Structure 1
Amino acid sequence: MNNNIFTKNKFALCFFATSGLLGLAIPATATAGVNLATPGDWETSISGSLPVFMVASDHDNSEKALRVQSGFNPANINFHVVAPKSDAGFTVSGHFQIDTHLQGSGVQDSGLFESRVANIQLSGDFGTIVAGKDFGVFNSSAIGDLGSQRGVGWLGGGADTANATGGRIGTGYVYANFNPQVKYISPSMGGLSFKVALINPEEPQDASVETGSPRIEGQVNYKMGTGNGSLELWSGVFQQSVDVMVGEDTFGYNMQGIDVGGHIDIASFGLTVSYTDTTGIGADGLYGGSIHDADVDGTQWYVEADYVFGKNTVGVSYGEGSQDARAADSTKGLVAVGDVDNQLTMLFVNHQMTPQLRLIGELQDYQSTVQNDYTAIVVGFQFDF
């Protein structure tokens, strides 16, 4: 790419310059939640985060842009209310999240608010039952990477990305999404735990479809200490059926997948690897995007290495999302699907300036067979409470 904001050499120089600037900030520790005065044995608290990023990007066959915008996480505030423990030995709590976004160019003052979380939780020695709207299960551990989860990641809308950005959706994992569900979370059993959920199905919008059953998602996690570090392993599965009406004919297909991954910390070094294989989901990493994804085989994977010193974290992350070509099936009204490959390389740095304020720097190089390639420099802040 000849018209990039920076050459490959400048890419590295800018990253280390950003690391040095962030290192001048005052080190501190993280914080969590604000408790509110509550009568009796009730507990009430609020928590949230306000991320703000300045993104300078250069898009092939498009434009150069400088935008102030949201990152992978929108601005959010969470309300938590915990009732007194019942005589039966379990605790009931309610959780509600309100989110808003820094809009892209041309979408100002829209007043867009959404609720990603609204659920009731029953917790006890048996584990936790969640009923309502919550984060998905499949690929949820993969989404916990440091690079994209704390920062910006893929600019899904190009130079004028509105709402939250894409993280590693389509270049490392399938998006777990926030949907109404009933979920069970087991207690830890010697480091081993699992989740299983019945989740409202996603429906492709480019055809008349029926989804008579929920999506089933499950995940197993294992965590253990390693002397001077820790190890976490995970694996998950999901399945959802879709019936498509084409005239008077009907055909069905399954969206399904499996993922495996792990994260290890040894002293100051960390390494995360994740691999996901799906059918019925394309390289974009989104559920139910199109009926033309029926029978398409997709893969998502990424590798991320990080190093922590004091209150600073620096790292490098590379990942891909791809799908295999499939011949057209005119009897089902499906068009041919070609090979797709998306790649995202990120260099990132985080510094905890105060217990509540984190400074973030990020450099990106994105390449795709179906979207405009781009490079980007990102500098931002996130206030947590």
Structure 2
Amino acid sequence: MNNTIKLAVASALLAAASNASAGIMIPAGDWTLDIGGVVNMYYTSTRHTGDDAGTLTAGTNNNGTKTKSNITTGLLPNYLTVSGKTRQNDLDVGFTISMQPGAATTSSLSGGGGNENRQQFITFGDASWGSIKLGKDLGIFASDAILNDMTLLGVGSGAGTLNGTTTLGRIGTGYIYADWKNQIAYSSPNWNGFSFTAGVSQGWNANGTGSPYAANGTTTQAGGSQPAFEAKASYSWAGDFAGKVWVSGISQKMRGIGATAGNAAGFAFDPTTGGSIPVAATAASSGTDDRSEAVDFGGTINVAGFGLTGYYFTGSGIGNQYQFSSGYDALGQARDSDGGYVQATYTIPGVGTKLGASWGTSNLDATSNDARGDVSSEMWTIGAYHPLTKHLNLVAEYSDAKDTVDARGAFAETKSKAKTVSLGAILFF
């Protein structure tokens, strides 16, 4: 199984108390191929209450109460991964290609669902000086936050609102999504537990969707005069009191924030008279430039069956759920954001069942130009993760997510809630 999936499996299994092993190993000439993957499915029941103005629960309850039931994949998509490795000219050379067949909550005569291609990369290096990666893989910034989230094995939030290949887990209620990015990155050797990774990833334009705000209205697409710069460093230790601490960051120059195309003078329909009225020309605007930045730090410890994880992030122009989404207002002013989560787990001796509880929040501050107030999204989750076999885990979770938008001006405070019960299983091979 490739390194990123191994890391995801190992991190998820912190919540499941199961053992991961390599996938299906196949010698092929100079190469050793590894076929691995993940298959999971859950029954979810989500009860929505409150207003329709939340970021995780918007438009789902019609200003009342509504329950949705789904049979869907969880935070991890289904995975099929082929990777290979070899040693040539004193270099360790490898590749990974994966696909993720989804089980979306929408349906159609063609079968519904969705498909993703999250990983296609090559690596080369040596244990003495590290390795270089070129291709598409999990982003560097905030990657440890999601890989240590216990809902990686389950569902978390988003089961009753999304129509994609996965749910949200704790994305947007404790950390920003690391995303899957085209990148060029260097990873150092492991020096007695310390290591670091630094690289550049594809630059993206800011996006105003994903919150009750309407920002610059652009779509998320490749753009910018520079790539994003990302890095992380970590230190791990073993023993009866094992653990890991980490810090990571991201910085990207954003161009043309709040840009408008402008319109020529003309006529527009007058709904009052049914006729036409003259409309003055509007000048085009190139928008403003700014730099989106964020930093995070966290740690996890494990002793005598107990596990404790703590995490915090802060940023400007980065958003609070998906990177660069809702990071700026319509005039190009950056919105500040922060958040984090705490998580406690306990593995029952002799049984292997891991019990866990976590709480987290993600916050987005309004600018002076925003009509509405600050946004806060938080979630409680309790879960049980039982290793039925070495590779198969049964999962039961309950998550209580809440979105709050503070009152401002003519807008009153709004609150929306989504309570989700999920039952299912996840298989690693």
Q: TM-score range by the shorter chain?
A: 0.7 to 0.9
Among 322, 327, 340, which residue is 1:301 paired with? 340
Q: Contact (CA 8 Å) 1:54, 1:379: kept in 2 or not?
A: yes
For residue 271 of structure 1, what is the amino acid of its counterpart?
A: L
Q: Contact (CA 8 Å) 1:148, 1:167: kept in 2 or not?
A: yes
> Measured at CA, do residues 241 and 34 of structure 1 come closer, stay the same or move farther in structure 2, by a change above 3 Å?
same
Determine the structure 1 residue equivalent to 2:417.
Answer: 373
**1:351-383 Cα shifts (integer Å, max 9, x gaps):** 111112111110111111157311111111111
Are 2:134 and 1:131 aligned? Answer: yes
**1:207-259 Cα shifts (integer Å, max 9, x gaps):** 3895010000000100112x413020001111011111332343112110110
The percentage of counterpart residues that share the same residue type is 26
Q: Post-superposition shift, 1:146?
A: 4.1
Are 2:265 and 1:224 aligned? Answer: no
Residues 140-219 of structure 1 correspond to what in structure 2 (within 5 A)?
Answer: 140-155=143-158, 158-159=160-161, 161-205=163-207, 206-207=217-218, 210-219=223-232
Are 2:275 and 1:275 aligned? Answer: no
> Measured at CA, do residues 66 and 248 of structure 1 come closer, stay the same or move farther in structure 2, by a change above 3 Å?
closer
Are 2:368 and 1:351 aligned? Answer: no
Determine the structure 2 residue equivalent to 1:331.
Answer: none
Corresponding residue pairs, total? 348
**1:4-54 Cα shifts (integer Å, max 9, x gaps):** xxxxxxxxxxxxxxxxxxxxxxx974433111242x331111010001011
Determine the structure 2 residue equivalent to 1:7.
Answer: none
Q: Post-superposition shift, 1:72?
A: 0.6
Distance (Å, rounded) in 2 between the aligned partners of 1:106 and 1:204: 31
Distance (Å, rounded) in 2 between the aligned partners of 1:264 and 1:95: 31
Normalising by the residue count of structure 2, what TM-score does the alignment of the two structures yield?
Answer: 0.77
Q: Post-superposition shift, 1:145?
A: 2.3
> Measured at CA, do residues 248 and 296 of structure 1 come closer, stay the same or move farther in structure 2, by a change above 3 Å?
closer
Q: Contact (CA 8 Å) 1:281, 1:294: kept in 2 or not?
A: no
Determine the structure 2 residue equivalent to 1:93.
Answer: 94
Determine the structure 1 residue equivalent to 2:32.
Answer: 43
Where structure 1 has 5 or more consecutive residues not aligned to the other structure, the ranges are 1-26, 329-334
Normalising by the residue count of structure 1, what TM-score does the alignment of the two structures yield?
Answer: 0.85
> Measured at CA, do residues 251 and 266 of structure 1 come closer, stay the same or move farther in structure 2, by a change above 3 Å?
same
Distance (Å, rounded) in 2 between the aligned partners of 1:107 and 1:147: 32
Residues 72-91 of structure 1 correspond to what in structure 2 (within 5 A)?
Answer: 72-83=75-86, 85-87=87-89, 89-91=90-92
Q: Post-superposition shift, 1:94?
A: 1.0
Determine the structure 2 residue equivalent to 1:17.
Answer: none
**1:119-165 Cα shifts (integer Å, max 9, x gaps):** 0100312111100001101111111224221111121x734543211
Among 20, 29, 34, which residue is 2:24 paired with? 34
Are 2:262 and 1:250 aligned? Answer: no
Distance (Å, rounded) in 1 between the aligned partners of 2:371 and 2:230: 29
Determine the structure 1 residue equivalent to 2:410.
Answer: none
Among 377, 381, 384, which residue is 1:342 paired with? 377
Distance (Å, rounded) in 2 between the aligned partners of 1:107 and 1:296: 39
| Further displaced range: 44-53 or 102-111 | 102-111
Are 2:45 and 1:59 aligned? Answer: no
Q: Contact (CA 8 Å) 1:351, 1:359: kept in 2 or not?
A: yes
Distance (Å, rounded) in 1 between the aligned partners of 2:336 and 2:135: 31
Distance (Å, rounded) in 2 between the aligned partners of 1:161 and 1:96: 25
Q: Helix, strand or coil: the match of 1:165?
A: coil
Where structure 2 has 5 or more consecutive residues not aligned to the other structure, the ranges are 1-16, 51-60, 208-216, 261-283, 406-414
Q: Helix, strand or coil: the match of 2:151?
A: helix
Determine the structure 1 residue equivalent to 2:363.
Answer: 322
For residue 34 of structure 1, what is the amino acid of its counterpart?
A: I
> Measured at CA, do residues 317 and 90 of structure 1 come closer, stay the same or move farther in structure 2, by a change above 3 Å?
same
Q: Helix, strand or coil: the match of 1:194?
A: strand
Distance (Å, rounded) in 2 between the aligned partners of 1:133 and 1:201: 13
Q: Post-superposition shift, 1:337?
A: 5.3
Determine the structure 2 residue equivalent to 1:24.
Answer: none
Q: Helix, strand or coil: the match of 1:173?
A: coil
Q: Post-superposition shift, 1:325?
A: 2.0
Q: Contact (CA 8 Å) 1:137, 1:219: kept in 2 or not?
A: yes
**1:150-199 Cα shifts (integer Å, max 9, x gaps):** 111121x7345432111111111111100110011111111110011100
Are 2:398 and 1:363 aligned? Answer: yes
